[in-house]
């Protein structure tokens, strides 16, 4: 392949970075500039970059949609629980409110400790409840999950 000599003026910072890259990669500055120019002039390069970005954006969109769905489920669950709790809870007489506050504080501390232990285990409470309610289905789901993981490897 014949080559064409070209003298260029580039900013000092670009020249410095080109020198560093050539030294680091162990290639000539000409080959780096030629590769960059080929990439810039290639009609497919822009399309490939755009396709890769679009693919990544689609994946991020699906992840955000799942997060939004899960968050909506959590919000609705909490709202239903609060409404139920407020509906069925009886008012506490004035004389017992101080004891109720103390008991509430102790229960909350217990709850936070239990939550911490649960999060450290890394298991899903929902999965545990489903397994307790329907152990046969949970075993089937676990077996299917194992098959899927084997296929993916």
> pLDDT, tens digit, for every residue of 88-111?
989 999 999 999 999 999 999 999
Q: What are phi and psi of 5, to 5 degrees?
A: -85, 135
Q: Is 115 left (phi over 0), alpha (psi -120 to 50) or beta?
A: alpha
Which regions of the chain are under pLDDT 50? 147-149, 151-153
Is the pTM higher than 0.75? The answer reads no
DSSP code for 26: T
- pLDDT reported for residue 151: 45
- pLDDT reported for residue 137: 66
In 3D space, the residue among 43, 18, 12 whose CA is nearest the CA of residue 30 turns out to be: 18
CB-CB contact of 44 with 50 (8 Å): no
- pLDDT reported for residue 101: 94
> Domain residue spans in the chain?
12-41, 43-90, 99-153
- pLDDT reported for residue 49: 81
């Amino acid at each position: 392949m014949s080559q064409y000599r070209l003298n260029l003026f580039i900013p000092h910072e670009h020249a410095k970075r080109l020198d560093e890259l050539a030294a680091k990669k162990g290639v000539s500055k000409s080959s780096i500039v030629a590769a960059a120019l080929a990439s810039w002039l290639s009609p497919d390069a822009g399309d490939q970059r755009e396709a890769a970005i679009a693919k990544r954006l689609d994946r991020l969109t699906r992840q955000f949609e799942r997060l939004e769905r899960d968050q909506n489920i959590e919000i609705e669950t909490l709202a239903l629980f609060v409404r139920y709790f407020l509906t069925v809870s009886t008012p506490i007489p004035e004389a017992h409110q101080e004891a109720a506050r103390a008991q509430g504080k102790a229960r909350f501390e217990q709850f936070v400790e239990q939550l911490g232990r649960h999060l450290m285990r890394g298991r899903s409470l929902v999965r545990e409840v489903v397994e307790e309610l329907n152990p046969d289905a949970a075993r089937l789901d676990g077996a299917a999950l194992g098959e899927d993981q084997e296929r993916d490897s």
